Amino acid sequence: MSNEITVTIDGQELKVREGQSILGVARSNDIYIPTLCFLKGLSALGGCRLCLVEVQGVPRLLPACVTKVSDGMVVTTDSPKLQEYRRMILELLLAERNHICAFCVASGHCELQDLAQRLGVTYVRYPYRFPRYAVDASHERFLYDPNRCVLCTRCVRACEEVEGARTWNVMGRGIRSFMITDLHGKWGESPTCTTCGKCVQVCPTGALAEKGRATGEMQRKGNFLSELSTMRSSRR
């Protein structure tokens, strides 16, 4: 059984179980830390860096989703420095691909859009790249628009860890990275895809979408993975 330890987050002293992440402790105590690549039910990645926090005595910022708490740890989740870092990350994401919301199927139901509004990102200081990647609409039910992708890899982890199909992966490096199915074939011709739609459900933007859905119908189930885990447990 895990030992109980004491940590302080934003001046609030908390008794928590050893082995928890900073993000897990914060969310259990209604302390907001922004995330994009993190999703409950999937392994933590620490890729988007939006959950960076300050830890007393540590000279660098740490990702809250993959940093375990330790006894006596003092954490700051909101400061001018952190706000600036988070805004910069969001601006870079918005500049890297095409995220003009008026033309996106997820407009109004997009986590990237919500984060920009919550963190006060009203303009982008960096030059827009606007790459023109081809949309893969070969699947009978779904489509993939790499121009909307933020490379959070939620789809990769959901496909591998929940469905067990391992259809999705990342190809390329840096800003030239994009998602592929199998060995870079068309999604509709994938021999591994089970058409379960889990990747579409976990996508935080309009990169993965269901065909025939209007903008107002693009709402996704936020507790999708938790519900799935509960149903699977009840069948055992």
Residue-wise pLDDT tens digits, 56-105: 999 999 999 999 999 999 999 999 999 999 999 999 999 999 988 877 77
Q: How far apart are CA 65 and CA 26, in angstroms?
A: 10
Claim to verify: residue 57 and residue 142 sit in the same structural domain: no
Residue 32 confidence (pLDDT) above 60: yes
CATH code of 178's domain: 3.30.70.20
Claim to verify: residue 62 and residue 94 sit in the same structural domain: no
Residue 124 confidence (pLDDT) above 70: yes
**Rg value, the chain, Cα:** 19
Instruction: Give the Cβ contact number of residue 222 at 10 Å.
Output: 12
Domain that holds residue 139: 85-234
Instruction: Give the Cβ contact number of residue 88 at 10 Å.
Output: 14
Residue 173 confidence (pLDDT) above 60: yes
Claim to verify: residue 212 and residue 177 sit in the same structural domain: yes
Q: How far is CA 5 from CA 15, 57, 107, 115, in A?
A: 6, 18, 42, 32
Q: Residue 108 — pLDDT band, cuts 50, 70, 90?
A: confident
Candidates 11, 28, 4, 21; CA nearest to 69 is: 21
Residue 222 confidence (pLDDT) above 70: no
Instruction: Give the Cβ contact number of residue 50 at 10 Å.
Output: 22
What is the predicted pLDDT for the residue at 97? 92
- Treating both helix axes as pointing N-terminal to C-terminal, what angle do 80-96 and 111-118 enclose, rounded to 10 degrees? 140
Claim to verify: residue 93 and residue 74 sit in the same structural domain: no
CATH code of 36's domain: 3.10.20.740
What is the predicted pLDDT for the residue at 1? 45
What is the average pLDDT score of the chain? 91
Q: Residue 192 — pLDDT band, cuts 50, 70, 90?
A: very high
Q: Which residues pair with 75 in a beta bridge?
A: 9, 55
Residue 44 confidence (pLDDT) above 80: yes
Residue-wise pLDDT tens digits, 1-30: 468 999 999 999 999 999 999 999 999 999
Total count of domains within the chain: 2
Mean pLDDT of 209-219: 72
Residue-wise pLDDT tens digits, 128-150: 988 889 999 999 999 999 999 99
